[in-house]
């Protein structure tokens, strides 16, 4: 059984320069760059492929990619999330090649802010994979006031159905919805 004397290793680390190194976006502390000559490790050494280490420099002009996990949302006006949770009805053809999702929003919050933010431009379902959209949106009026929005999203392939179901899983998890089969 091999042992490692931590006192010998820590004393060697104290004499190493304090630089950070990077390999494909990963940073490593100087422990990987320094060796201890007084270690009591008596195991077998490993031969690793030669890795090229580069020093990380703060460069404000260097492009950086940041992937953010978007909270699943539904929007009627781009940039404004709909706060009302819809009733969703799904239909699918017998052969599974296409389907329709019907969303019914009773008293949606978009009616409160549409005068300030603009007109309803479509139906947008946004998550970390991207945006699903439809222009099949209709409003129902009662006594001259908007009371309900009905939006339909049509899926014309099994891939579109799968993508929609991934969105709905994320959206339902984020909003506490559950699936009820009729």
List domains and CATH numbers for the chain.
6-55 (no CATH), 73-175 (2.40.30.220)
Q: Is 169 helix (H, G, I), strand (E, B) or coil?
A: helix
Q: Is 130 helix (H, G, I), strand (E, B) or coil?
A: strand
Question: How confident is the model at residue 22, as a pLDDT?
Answer: 41
Element (H, E) at 126: strand 123-127
Q: What is the pTM of this model?
A: 0.60
Question: How confident is the model at residue 86, as a pLDDT?
Answer: 94
Question: How confident is the model at residue 23, as a pLDDT?
Answer: 42
Averages of pLDDT over each 10 residues, the chain, 182 residues:
38 41 42 46 51 52 56 92 93 92 93 75 94 95 90 96 95 87 74
Residues 181 and 51: their CA atoms lie apart, in Å, by 55
Question: How confident is the model at residue 7, as a pLDDT?
Answer: 39
Q: How many residues does the chain have?
A: 182
- The neighbouring-strand residues paired with 23 are 26
The label of the residue with tokens 């506490």 reads: 176
């Amino acid at each position: 059984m091999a042992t490692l004397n931590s006192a010998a290793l820590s004393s060697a680390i104290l004499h190493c320069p304090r630089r950070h190194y990077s390999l494909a976006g990963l940073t490593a502390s100087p422990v990987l760059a320094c060796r201890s000559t007084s270690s009591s490790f008596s195991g077998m050494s490993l031969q690793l492929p030669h890795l090229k280490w580069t020093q990380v420099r703060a460069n404000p002009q260097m492009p950086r990619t940041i992937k953010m996990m978007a909270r699943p949302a539904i929007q009627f006006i781009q940039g404004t999330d709909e706060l009302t949770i819809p009733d969703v009805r799904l239909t699918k053809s017998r052969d599974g090649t296409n389907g329709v999702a019907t969303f019914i929003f009773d008293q949606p919050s978009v009616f409160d802010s549409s005068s300030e933010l603009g007109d309803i431009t479509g139906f947008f379902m946004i998550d970390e994979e991207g945006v699903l959209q439809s222009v099949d949106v209709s409003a129902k009026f009662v006594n001259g006031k908007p009371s309900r929005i009905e939006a339909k999203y049509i899926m014309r392939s099994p891939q579109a159905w799968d993508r929609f179901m991934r969105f709905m899983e994320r959206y339902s998890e984020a909003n506490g919805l559950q699936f009820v089969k009729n």
